[in-house]
Amino acid sequence: MIDLELIRRALAEDLQGGEDITSLATVGESERAIADFVSRQPGVIAGLDMAKAVLTEVGLSEITTYCADGDSVAAGTVLMTVRGNTRAILLAERTALNFLGHLSGIASLTSLWVAAVGKSKCQIRDTRKTTPGMRELEKYAVRMGGGTNHRISLSEAALIKDNHIAAAGGVEPSFTKVRKLYPNTPIEVEVDTLQQLQEVLPLNPDVILLDNMSPKECATAVEIVAGRSKLEASGGITLESAAAYAATGVDFLAIGALTHSAPVLDIGLDLRAE
């Protein structure tokens, strides 16, 4: 997946209308080099196309990739090699690594959550807690890690939360208003208690969000709903507790940390003479 506008903004941000003064002073205009993108730690890769596009944007074309997005790699794995003008490689280096490391970090963290729920039917799902301007890329990285995407935008599906319920005067009026105005749109409703769940269930929402409930409460919710709506658990879930939540029978775990707290995968660029 490529976002050329974002790449151009990132490169322009690096130069601020000027030039790479360090490279211009230390590297000859016609000098060439070979550079390897190397993963310093194990993880799942995402963002190779973005990194390649950064290199292409600065005029580099001799690029070889050795893996694909979604691949698991060991520490020390060479992911990609570029050959060409040394100044161009150094200009692209940080921007390419920023995209590649960030997106691979999201994919790697997602893969840990997916592994934590094992072979259960439960899916790991992201949220809208994404970096402004990078939502589609970050949600792509979640998919590369084996996760699934919640709605991309506010227009894609309705999610009736506590503030909507308060503004509309209750769960039923809020649900009815959304259904009337958008009859074909999926609707998810957030509940905080099992009592609220009982109130919401007759409305037949597509998904019910169980907010900050314990695994025991989620298991009871699964029994109450009995397949009439999908169930999504959210809030207070950790990697250590993910398996317990998945075992309750809920359909999704909503994990905001996939995008807002994923550590960057350590990837470096090793330059050598051609």
Average pLDDT of the chain, as a whole number: 96
Residue 161 is among the residues annotated as catalytic for this protein: yes
Which residue's structure tokens are 């939540």? 245
Domain locations along the chain: 4-114+262-273, 116-260
Q: What integer pLDDT is reported at residue 170 of this predicted model?
A: 87
Residue 230 is among the residues annotated as catalytic for this protein: no
Instruction: Give yes or no for residue 267 having a pLDDT over 90.
Output: yes
Share of the chain above pLDDT 90, in %: 96
Residue 20 is among the residues annotated as catalytic for this protein: no
Residue 52 is among the residues annotated as catalytic for this protein: no
Instruction: Give yes or no for residue 194 having a pLDDT over 90.
Output: yes
Annotated catalytic residue: which of 3, 188, 190, 232? Answer: 190
Annotated catalytic residue: which of 135, 151, 161, 177? Answer: 161
Q: Which CATH class is domain 116-260?
A: alpha beta
pLDDT band at 6 (very low <50, low <70, confident <90, very high): very high
Measured in residues, the chain has a length of 274
Q: What integer pLDDT is reported at residue 26 of this predicted model?
A: 95
The angle that helices 4-15 and 48-57 make with each other, rounded to 10 degrees, is 60
| Nearest-angstrom CA–CA distance, 207 and 230 | 5
107-117 per-position pLDDT tens digit: 999 999 999 99
Residue 211 is among the residues annotated as catalytic for this protein: yes
Q: What is the dihedral of CA 130, 131, 133, 136, to 10 degrees?
A: -40
Q: What integer pLDDT is reported at residue 171 of this predicted model?
A: 87
Instruction: Give yes or no for residue 150 having a pLDDT over 90.
Output: yes
Select from 139, 143, 161, 133 the least CA-distant residue to 152. 139
Select from 168, 160, 271 the least CA-distant residue to 209. 160
162 or 49, which is more confident?
Answer: 49
Contacts of 180 (CB under 8 A, 6+ apart): none
Q: What integer pLDDT is reported at residue 115 of this predicted model?
A: 98
Instruction: Give yes or no for residue 273 having a pLDDT over 90.
Output: no
Q: What is the 3-state secondary structure (H, E, C) of the chain?
A: CCCHHHHHHHHHHHHCCCCCHHHHHHCCCCCEEEEEEEECCCEECCCHHHHHHHHHHCCCCEEEECCCCCCEECCCCEEEEEEEEHHHHHHHHHHHHHHHHHHHHHHHHHHHHHHHCCCCCCEEECCCCCCCCCHHHHHHHHHHCCCECCCCCCCCCEEECHHHHHHHCCHHHHHHHHHHHCCCCCEEEEECCHHHHHHHHHHCCCEEEEECCCHHHHHHHHHHHCCCCEEEEECCCCCCCHHHHHCCCCCEEECCHHHHCCCCCCEEEEEEEC
Instruction: Give yes or no for residue 141 having a pLDDT over 90.
Output: yes
Given a contact cutoff of 8 angstroms between Cβ atoms, the answer to whether 124 and 141 are in contact is no
pLDDT band at 140 (very low <50, low <70, confident <90, very high): very high
Which residue's structure tokens are 């990194």? 51
CB atoms within 10 A of CB 195: 9
197-246 per-position pLDDT tens digit: 999 999 999 999 999 999 999 999 999 999 999 999 999 999 999 999 99
Query: Largest Cα–Cα distance of the chain, in whole Å?
Result: 73
Annotated catalytic residue: which of 93, 138, 211, 251? Answer: 211
Annotated catalytic residue: which of 8, 32, 83, 94? Answer: 94
CATH of domain 4-114+262-273: 3.90.1170.20
32-85 per-position pLDDT tens digit: 999 999 999 999 999 999 999 999 999 999 999 999 999 999 999 999 999 999
163-185 per-position pLDDT tens digit: 998 888 888 899 999 999 999 99
